[in-house]
Amino acid sequence: MKVVRTAVELSDAIGRNESVHFVPTMGYLHDGHLSLIRAAARDANAGRPKGVVVVSSFVNPTQFNDPRDLKAYPRDEPRDIELARSAHCDVFFAPDVDTIYREGLSGTRVHVPGVSERWEGEFRPGHFDGVATVVAKLFHLVVPTVAYFGEKDWQQCRVIAKMVDDLDFPLSLKFCETVREPDGLAMSSRNARFRPEVRAKAPALYETLREGARAAAAGGDLRTIERGAEHALRVAGFEKVDYFAIVDERTLERTDSPTAGTRVIAAAWIGGVRLIDNVEVPV
């Protein structure tokens, strides 16, 4: 595996491969990231000729609303390099801020209308502009054939899908199933910030999402289900529920009757950590 830090080094390491399988991350890798890298490696190995697997590790400052959150974001590059190597990454791209934002942090931004403006977009203004901008930049640098993202950040998946479609990026997207701890908590770099007594309560988010999805599939009133779920989360120890909503998974607009492609999404705070998660409604 090659570790590269500049655009020139990246281009040289990728070479003229016919297929490039790309996993963008913000580092501090966990099993969720590794599952994406392994999926990319399986796809790369299935091709003839074999493709190349590229993993980026870049903590993107433009998607953080709170500078304290950016500063607190966990980092461990030597560990990340070894984990990526173990999952069969070929090129590990770890640029600095100046490599990604040559024009500075106040330069051009990519805004994806519609799907970026509700839910996370309301609670984290500008977040998805930062996400779309850095992903667009990484796509231009890596020039992937396929890019891989986890479904835990479902709204992010939809934002990136719309950007790729609207701007005619010549690549395919693969959204991979959320990887969870044995108790159901979605894997996240932020989980490292939990105190043990709070960590024990955190899986209630996933449990409540599943209960909401089952109730929606059974024909319950969706708005009543949403209100009940918010109450259940507060009882379970969550300090604040930013949203709990049953939506069309493509448009992210609330729906009144579940059909194929309905998803329950939520964001809530516990122990000072903000969790997001989602599940499909089984219809």
Tell whether 168 and 261 lie within a shared domain.
no
Share of the chain above pLDDT 70, in %: 100
For residue 42, being part of any structural domain is answered with: yes
**pLDDT tops 90 at residue 168:** yes
Band (pLDDT 50/70/90 cuts) for residue 48 is confident
Q: Which of 131, 170, 171 is nearest to 148 (CA)?
A: 171
Q: Which phi and psi (to 5°) does residue 256 adopt?
A: -100, -15
Tell whether 151 and 193 lie within a shared domain.
no
Tell whether 162 and 194 lie within a shared domain.
no
Give the helix/strand (H/E) hosting 184.
none
pLDDT 10s digits, 141-160: 999 999 999 999 999 999 99
Tell whether 41 and 152 lie within a shared domain.
yes
Q: 139 is written with which tokens? A: 């796509």
Query: Could you list the active site residues?
Result: 33
For residue 194, being part of any structural domain is answered with: yes
- CA atoms of 83 and 91, how far apart (whole Å): 13
Higher pLDDT, 22 or 16: 22
Last residue of one domain, picked from the residues 149, 176, 203: 176
Tell whether 141 and 208 lie within a shared domain.
no
For residue 183, being part of any structural domain is answered with: no
Can you give the pTM of this predicted structure?
A: 0.96
**pLDDT tops 90 at residue 282:** yes
Identity of residue 68: R
For residue 184, being part of any structural domain is answered with: no
Last residue of one domain, picked from the residues 176, 198, 225: 176
Identity of residue 228: G
Domain containing residue 67? 2-176
What is the total count of domains within the chain? 2
Last residue of one domain, picked from the residues 152, 176, 200: 176
- CA atoms of 133 and 130, how far apart (whole Å): 5
E-assigned strands of the chain? Answer: 2-4, 20-25, 52-57, 91-93, 146-150, 172-176, 240-248, 262-270, 273-280
Band (pLDDT 50/70/90 cuts) for residue 215 is very high
- CA atoms of 250 and 258, how far apart (whole Å): 13
**pLDDT tops 90 at residue 77:** yes
Residue tagged 């005619």 (tokens) = 168
Tell whether 105 and 232 lie within a shared domain.
no
